[in-house]
Structure 1
Amino acid sequence: MRALIVLFLLGIVASILSPVFLTPSNLLNVLLEVSVTALLAFGQTYIIILAEIDLSVGSVLGLAGAITAGILAHGNIIEALIVGLLVGAVSGLINGLLTTFGKIPSFITTLGTMTAFSGVTLVYTQGNTISISSNGYAWIGQGYLLGVPIPVWIMILFYVIFWLLLSRTHYGRYVFATGGNEEASRLSGISVRWIKILAFVLTGVLAAVAGFISTARLNTAEPTLGSGLELDAIAAVILGGTSLAGGKGGLFGTLVGAIILGVLDDGMNLLNVSAFYQGIAKGVIILLAVLLDRNIHSISKLGRYVNFSGIHKSAPVKGMKK
């Protein structure tokens, strides 16, 4: 709810400062720019609800996009897309196995794989840009359906799929249970390791899809594509109300959080704000969101303690008459 309020207020301010903001073409442009971040953030939502984190999604995006572009030069689109999805899934599987069976904290695991996947991309591309000449592939990032950009439709499709998976299936309930209390979930028979591994795999697949959109929009695969996008994805999840402590969150809030970042970027671009200041603004927003999340979590814990201990009840004081 608070994310919607922030988005509403931000929209009002942007529309006042720039009359162009509320035009249909500009709003579609905001959604188009948001699509890649939102896809990364949908997977990141699962990871953060599990009280983990994935810093490698930007690198997976770049790796999957580069390999897909490379295969397009010698194969057909279907083959390239399948291989790209496999690259994303295997990358997520590596993260999941190292985190669960390797017992390495996900922050350290994905920090390492972020660097490793980026290195693999540089080796594969030899530091050069890979050009894409396929019109069919370009349609993924540049095409329109019913006047709406294809990336926006892709974002909506995966939002629906992952929302249903999280809110309407046993797996989704296990994700929340594991994030809320991992030990209790394990004792109740939930395969905690595989719940986490599947979340990392799904996140890798979404990163690959985001890579398709990014490379199709540019008609090229750059060796540094996706760098820094993991921070935008994490920021969108936190702004959407998903708790870093785990066990709480949702995809609708994440979508709103991603749109907030998109509106912020678009508003500052319309106002010709320097890119350097845009980075500062994003950083401040991330810090404020984390600070708010921590304070709300602390207050919630205090409230549960007070309810449990009965301190809130007005018990009669000794020596005083009722």
Structure 2
Amino acid sequence: MKTLNNTISVEKLRPLIALFLLCVVLSLLSDKFLTVNNAWNVMRQISVNICISVGMTLIVLTSGIDLSVGSVLALCGAVTAGLLKNGIPIEATNTYVGFTLLGAILAGLVVGGLLGFFNGWVITKFKVPPFVATLAMLTIARGLTMLFTKGFPISGLGKEFAFIGTGWFWGMPIPVWISLIVIIIAFWLTTRTKIGRYIYAIGGNEKAAKLSGINIKKVKITVYVIAGVLAAVGGIMVTSRLDSAQPNAGMSFELDSIAAVVIGGTSLSGGRGAILGTVLGAIIIGVLNNGLVLLNVSPFWQQVVKGFVILLAVIIDKANSKAE
């Protein structure tokens, strides 16, 4: 029993140890790494990935996957920006429907929720594997983004909207506050609610969960809706920070979120993992990205390094699964 407890403790501490060692190495290689400005820069950058990765964690815990979060992020950011700046002109009646800042943000969140609902519905209704369904949504959402923006950025969105991505409140950047709120809600959801227990039960043994009376379809759809909304939150933050909705926004964001989830200790087979582990994984990915930039590593090599990190994390996850 003592050996088992020690093994479990080491597994939980592994991401923290990796983060510590990474920080030590980067601080030795760059004198710009351990600065206050760089620390806030890292926190602001990882805020988007944290929001996306929290939603991804809920999905992976049910033995699912979502490859569409980057495209959903782009579409929701574009919708929010487009409605805020241009509204909805109705040529037939020569009228114009304008949107306030809150209205445009809510519209973006609704779009994210609807896309997530569609993912969950296709997966549960037609038994389409999550990988295939969300891969299709990746293409669909990216195409809709290009159609909505006509391939051009939507910029000049105003100071109020820019405050979401660049402003400060009580000594912390607004994106950090947003990600902190998302973390608290997700932690409460997974540890203190019935749906949290159902998520773990489905990932652990879906057949047993169904026999115990859990509505599998409802839970899975709910999880994908949450992931869609959180991708929309990320899209709004990215668009606000850039003061522009870019048609190609969110490219490869799904890889960073999956990396954060796996590095944080969530099993790709489902049923095992925690929100706080994912947050730690997102910090590791953010620190790694930041360190590679400070060291002037080519963006192409950055992709190679991150790919190997993801591969290593998956190998460790599989090794742990076999050990159990």
Global fold match (TM > 0.5): yes
**Pair 1:154-2:166 in alignment:** no
Aligned to 1:101: 125
**Pair 1:111-2:123 in alignment:** no
Amino acid at match of 1:58: G
- After TM superposition, the structure 1 = structure 2 runs for residues 248-263 of structure 1, keeping only pairs within 5 Å, are 248-263=272-287
**Pair 1:168-2:192 in alignment:** yes
Deviation, structure 1 residue 145? 1.1
Amino acid at match of 2:171: G
Equivalent position to 1:58, from 70, 76, 99: 70
Deviation, structure 1 residue 146? 2.2
Aligned to 1:320: none
Aligned with 1:62: secondary structure?
helix
Q: How large is the RMSD of aligned CA atoms in angstroms?
A: 0.8
Q: What CA deviation, in whole Å up to 9, does each residue of 1:102-161 have, x standing for no partner?
A: 110000000001101100111111111111332111100010112211101101111001
Deviation, structure 1 residue 19? 2.1
Q: What CA deviation, in whole Å up to 9, does each residue of 1:140-183 have, x standing for no partner?
A: 00101122111011011110011110111111011000100000
Higher Cα radius of gyration: 1
Equivalent position to 2:264, from 233, 240, 243: 240
Equivalent position to 2:57, from 45, 59, 83: 45
Structure 1 stretches of 5 or more lacking a match? 301-322
Percent sequence identity over aligned pairs: 48
Amino acid at match of 1:4: L
**Pair 1:21-2:33 in alignment:** yes
The answer as to whether partners of 2:81 and 2:157 remain within 8 angstroms in 1 is no
The answer as to whether partners of 1:72 and 1:134 remain within 8 angstroms in 2 is no
**Pair 1:89-2:120 in alignment:** no
Equivalent position to 2:46, from 34, 47, 57: 34
> Using the alignment, how far apart are the partners of 2:110 and 2:153 within structure 1?
22
> Using the alignment, how far apart are the partners of 1:71 and 1:13 within structure 2?
45
> Using the alignment, how far apart are the partners of 1:265 and 1:133 within structure 2?
28
Normalised by the length of structure 1, the TM-score is: 0.92
Q: What CA deviation, in whole Å up to 9, does each residue of 1:297-318 have, x standing for no partner?
A: 0111xxxxxxxxxxxxxxxxxx
Deviation, structure 1 residue 208? 0.4
**Pair 1:210-2:234 in alignment:** yes
> Using the alignment, how far apart are the partners of 1:132 and 1:5 within structure 2?
43
Aligned to 2:318: 294
Aligned with 1:55: secondary structure?
coil
Aligned to 2:93: none
Aligned to 2:101: 77
> Using the alignment, how far apart are the partners of 2:157 and 2:131 within structure 1?
38
> Using the alignment, how far apart are the partners of 1:272 and 1:256 within structure 2?
24
> Using the alignment, how far apart are the partners of 2:150 and 2:36 within structure 1?
41
> Using the alignment, how far apart are the partners of 1:133 and 1:107 within structure 2?
35
Q: What CA deviation, in whole Å up to 9, does each residue of 1:271-313 have, x standing for no partner?
A: 111111111100000000011101110111xxxxxxxxxxxxx
Deviation, structure 1 residue 270? 1.1
Amino acid at match of 2:159: N
> Using the alignment, how far apart are the partners of 1:225 and 1:272 within structure 2?
23
